[in-house]
Structure 1
Amino acid sequence: MSRIGKQSVLIPDGVTVEVKSQTVTVKGAKGESAYTAPTCIAVEVKGNSVFVSRTDNSKHGKAMFGTVRSLINNMIIGVSQGYKKELSIEGVGYKAQLQGTDIILSLGYSHDINYSIPEGIAVEVKNGTTVSIEGIDKQLVGQVAARIRDFAPAEPYKGKGVRYVGEQIRRKEGKAVA
């Protein structure tokens, strides 16, 4: 049985959680988020806590038990504090700039890359080499950061490319000169 699913989720001050049939709606200072739980999972709010339980002993119910609890916890953290990922761009001529709802990346290709920022995500570019991605949806923030990083992941020889701030790139030695 899931150890995570058994734990209750505390609701902090300034956050409201509503459950209507299978839809869980979380509202907070940063915005509103909704999730529809599978029918094999029951969600209820008691006082300032959210409890998740299984309605049947199916394999799917057991698999989703801890997952639903974690998703609700992530929603509560998202609407109260938000999520943030930072990317660092390194390399000669490598830079990023915002243009409306798009981010334009110059990453050493013959063309610039235009990436359309999804709704609910705030992107900030600091001095052309640091990209900050913020939002209330943990999955979406991580997905946008991973997509931008995938355009030119940091390579192991010179280290140029896009990397997460704090990410260690394992460097390789170049060719040995005789």
Structure 2
Amino acid sequence: MSAQPRTGPTARMTVDEFLAWTEGQPGRHELLNGEVFAMSPQRAVHARVKYRVHRALDRAILAAGVPCEMFPDGMVVRVDAETSFEPDALVRCGDRLADSAVEADAPVIVIEVVSPSTRHIDTGAKLMGYFQLSSVQHYLILDTERRTVIHHRRSTGDLIETRIAASGDLSLDPPGLTLAVAALFAEP
């Protein structure tokens, strides 16, 4: 998400109003507390890491044999009535979404690749927002400069555990996936 708000309507809006508005808009947008934010164009390194994440998640889901589906960026995650984000990747388990769906309800894993302009939002508003959703078990923030993953994991009660990994495997249970950190940053 860009640091520049208000590329669209000047009035605050709900997620439902936002989704109707975005259908006719070029580019990608997110809604935070009723305000529209334009998403900046991504850099090549960002796109490469997102691609690797998508591939790694697809492979991990297949290897684990779990009834889950990976979605690349573009699917909306509704946090509350006035906030929705489009993560760089997510995993959702259970019944398959309808082909016409634009929202991914009940994501289990949410992933953001950090950009210079989004670091404060990814580590602040999005961290707090995603964990408002009881379905979210893991929130991964990938730092392309440091080649590390900040893994926030739901624990018992209202605790969120954080691990920073530059190597090794990430255990994403539930739903039972394993991701090698090196595969997320390695050149093909």
- TM-score, with length taken from structure 1: 0.25
- TM-score, with length taken from structure 2: 0.24
Which is strand-richer, 1 or 2? Answer: 1
Larger Rg over CA atoms: 1
